[in-house]
A and B are shown apart, each in its own frame.
Chain A
Amino acid sequence: MIALLAVFAAGAILLHPLATRLGRKVFFIGALVPLAAFIYTLAQGPRILSGEIVTETYSWVSELGLSLSMHLDVLSWVMSLIVTGVGTLVLLYCTRYFHSDEEDLGRFAATLLAFAGAMYGLVLADDVYLLFVFWEATSVLSYLLIGHYTEKKASRGAALQALLVTTLGGLVMLVGLVLLAVSTGTSSLTGIIAKAPEGTLVTVAVLLILVGALSKSAIFPFHFWLPAAMAAPTPVSAYLHAAAMVKAGIYLIARMAPGFADTPGWREVLVILGVFTMLLGGWTALKQTDLKLVLAHGTVSQLGFLTVIVGFGTPVTAVAGLALILAHALFKSTLFLVIGIVDHRAGTRDLRRLSGLGREAPVLATIAAVALLSMAGLPPLLGFVAKEAVFTTLLENATAGSTIGWVAVIGVALGSVLTVAYSARFFWGAFFRKAGVEQVREVRENIDFLFAPALLALSGLVLGIVPGIVDVSAAEYAALFPDGAEVDYHLALWHGLEPALAISAGTLIFGLGLFFLRGRLSAAQDILGRFSATGAYGAVMGTIDRTAARTTSLTQRGSLPFYLGVILSVLIAAVGLATAFNRTWPSDIRLWDFPAQAAIGILMIVASIAATRASKRFQAVVLVGVTGLGMSALFALHGAPDLALTQILVETMTLVAFVLVLRRLPARLGVQNGSDHRLLRAVIGIAAGVLMAVVAVVALGARTATRISLEWPQLAYEQGHGSNTVNVALVDLRGWDTMGELSVVIAAATGVASLIFLRSRTDTTDRPLRATTRTRIRASLANDSSGNSGRGAWLLAGRTLATRNRSILLEVVVRLIFHSLIVLSIYLLFAGHNAPGGGFAGGLVAGLAFAARYLAGGRHELAAAAPLDAGKLLGTGLTLAVGTAFVPLLFGVDALTSTWIEGEVWLFGHLEFVTSTIFDVGVYFVVIGLALDVLRSLGSEVDRQQEVDSEQAESDTDSSDSTETESSESNPASAATREVTS
Chain B
Amino acid sequence: MTVSLVLLIVMAVMYASGVFLLLERSMTRVLLGFLLIGNATNLLILIMGGEAGFAPIVGGDVSSEEMSDPLPQALILTAIVITFAVSAFLMALIYRSWRIAKDDNVSDDADDVAMRDFASGVESENTASASADTEFGIRAEAAVSQARDLEREDERAAAEAADSAVAASDDTNADNHTGEEKR
Q: How far is the CA of A186 from the CA of B9 in the complex (A)?
A: 68
Would A228 and B2 count as touching, CB distance under 8 A? no
Q: Which residues from A are CB-within-8-Å of B120?
A: 546, 549-550
Closest CB-CB distance, B152 to chain A, in whole Å? 13
Q: How far is the CA of A737 from the CA of B130 in the complex (A)?
A: 64
Q: Which residues from B are CB-within-8-Å of A589?
A: 2-3, 5
Q: How far is the CA of A655 from the CA of B21 in the complex (A)?
A: 18
Q: How far is the CA of A591 from the CA of B43 in the complex (A)?
A: 16
A sample of 22 inter-chain contacts (CB < 8 A) reads: A153-B157, A154-B129, A343-B140, A541-B124, A549-B119, A556-B115, A611-B21, A620-B28, A653-B84, A665-B98, A688-B15, A689-B19, A717-B58, A726-B70, A726-B74, A738-B78, A745-B82, A748-B86, A751-B89, A756-B92, A756-B95, A930-B88
Q: Which residues from A are CB-within-8-Å of B146?
A: 348, 353, 438
Would B140 and A840 count as touching, CB distance under 8 A? no
Would B140 and A344 count as touching, CB distance under 8 A? yes
Residue-wise, chain A 438-477 has the 8 Å CB interface mask toward B (1 for contact) of 1011110000000000000000000000000000000000
Would A723 and B52 count as touching, CB distance under 8 A? no
Would A594 and B52 count as touching, CB distance under 8 A? yes
B85: which of A233, A349, A724, A749 is its contact (CB, 8 Å)? A749
* Cβ-based interface call for B166 (8 A): no
Q: Which residues from A are CB-within-8-Å of B95?
A: 661, 664, 755-756, 938, 942
Residues on B lying within 8 angstroms of A by beta carbon are 1-26, 28-29, 32, 35-36, 39-40, 42-44, 46-59, 64-65, 67-71, 73-78, 80-89, 91-96, 98-99, 104-106, 108-113, 115-116, 118-120, 122-130, 132-148, 154, 157-158, 183
A712: which of B3, B70, B83 is its contact (CB, 8 Å)? B70
A interface residues, how many (CB within 8 angstroms): 168
A156-B125, A699-B48 given as contacts; is B56 within 8 A of A840 (CB)?
no
Would A558 and B91 count as touching, CB distance under 8 A? no
Closest CB-CB distance, A292 to chain B, in whole Å? 7
Q: How far is the CA of A927 from the CA of B127 in the complex (A)?
A: 62
Interface centre among B2, B16, B40, B141 (most CB of A within 10 A): B16
The segment from A32-40, A392-400, A624-632, A776-784 that touches chain B is A624-632
Would A564 and B23 count as touching, CB distance under 8 A? yes
Closest to B149 in A: A347
Would B3 and A696 count as touching, CB distance under 8 A? yes
A646-B81, A836-B55 given as contacts; is B71 within 8 A of A634 (CB)?
no
* Cβ-based interface call for A830 (8 A): no
The segment from A11-19, A403-411, A420-428, A700-708 that touches chain B is A700-708
Would A231 and B13 count as touching, CB distance under 8 A? no
A345: which of B81, B89, B141 is its contact (CB, 8 Å)? B141
Closest to B183 in A: A673
* Cβ-based interface call for A959 (8 A): no
Would B58 and A701 count as touching, CB distance under 8 A? no
* Cβ-based interface call for A825 (8 A): no
Would A347 and B28 count as touching, CB distance under 8 A? no
Closest CB-CB distance, A231 to chain B, in whole Å? 7
Which residues of A297-346 are within 8 A (CB) of B? Answer: 343-346
* Cβ-based interface call for A597 (8 A): yes
Q: Which residues from B are CB-within-8-Å of A151?
A: 154, 158
Closest CB-CB distance, B85 to chain A, in whole Å? 4
Q: How far is the CA of A591 from the CA of B46 in the complex (A)?
A: 16
Closest CB-CB distance, A237 to chain B, in whole Å? 11
A442: which of B115, B142, B157 is its contact (CB, 8 Å)? B142
Closest CB-CB distance, A705 to chain B, in whole Å? 10
The segment from A495-503, A636-644, A789-797 that touches chain B is A636-644
A707: which of B50, B86, B143, B183 is its contact (CB, 8 Å)? B50
Interface centre among B24, B84, B113, B124 (most CB of A within 10 A): B84
A349-B133, A528-B128 given as contacts; is B92 within 8 A of A627 (CB)?
no
Q: Which residues from B are CB-within-8-Å of A556?
A: 109, 112, 115
Closest to A693 in B: B12
Q: How far is the CA of A934 from the CA of B42 in the complex (A)?
A: 23
Q: Which residues from B are CB-within-8-Å of A669?
A: 26, 28-29
A646-B80, A693-B9 given as contacts; is B52 within 8 A of A638 (CB)?
yes
Contacts A347-B134, A681-B20, A685-B17 aside, 11 further interface pairs with beta carbons under 8 A come to A347-B137, A639-B56, A639-B67, A640-B55, A654-B35, A672-B26, A713-B70, A725-B70, A729-B70, A737-B78, A933-B88
Which residues of A163-195 are within 8 A (CB) of B? Answer: none
Q: How far is the CA of A677 from the CA of B42 in the complex (A)?
A: 29
Closest CB-CB distance, A510 to chain B, in whole Å? 29
Would B142 and A711 count as touching, CB distance under 8 A? no
* Cβ-based interface call for A538 (8 A): yes
* Cβ-based interface call for A234 (8 A): yes
Q: How far is the CA of A557 from the CA of B44 in the complex (A)?
A: 32
Q: Which residues from A are CB-within-8-Å of B138?
A: 347
Would B108 and A558 count as touching, CB distance under 8 A? yes
Q: Which residues from A are CB-within-8-Å of B136?
A: 343-344, 347
The segment from A122-130, A201-209, A600-608, A895-903 that touches chain B is A600-608
Would B71 and A707 count as touching, CB distance under 8 A? yes
Q: Which residues from A are CB-within-8-Å of B24?
A: 561, 670, 673-674, 676, 681
Would A741 and B78 count as touching, CB distance under 8 A? yes
Would B144 and A591 count as touching, CB distance under 8 A? no
* Cβ-based interface call for A518 (8 A): no
B13: which of A443, A608, A643 is its contact (CB, 8 Å)? A608
Q: How far is the CA of A770 from the CA of B40 in the complex (A)?
A: 43
A549-B115, A612-B17 given as contacts; is B3 within 8 A of A697 (CB)?
yes
* Cβ-based interface call for A350 (8 A): yes
Q: How far is the CA of A591 from the CA of B7 in the complex (A)?
A: 9
Residue-wise, chain A 672-692 has the 8 Å CB interface mask toward B (1 for contact) of 111011000110111011101
* Cβ-based interface call for A768 (8 A): no
A349-B133, A639-B67, A686-B16 given as contacts; is B8 within 8 A of A737 (CB)?
no
* Cβ-based interface call for A764 (8 A): no
* Cβ-based interface call for A709 (8 A): yes
Q: How far is the CA of A592 from the CA of B47 in the complex (A)?
A: 11
Q: How far is the CA of A528 from the CA of B128 in the complex (A)?
A: 7
Q: Which residues from A are CB-within-8-Å of B158?
A: 151
A592-B4, A661-B94, A693-B9 given as contacts; is B142 within 8 A of A441 (CB)?
yes
Closest 10 A/B residue pairs (Cβ) = A558-B112, A689-B16, A347-B143, A347-B147, A347-B140, A558-B109, A639-B68, A685-B20, A748-B85, A157-B125
Q: How far is the CA of A657 from the CA of B129 in the complex (A)?
A: 62
A440: which of B2, B144, B157 is its contact (CB, 8 Å)? B144
Q: Which residues from A are CB-within-8-Å of B105?
A: 672-673
Q: How far is the CA of A664 from the CA of B147 in the complex (A)?
A: 67
Would B88 and A608 count as touching, CB distance under 8 A? no
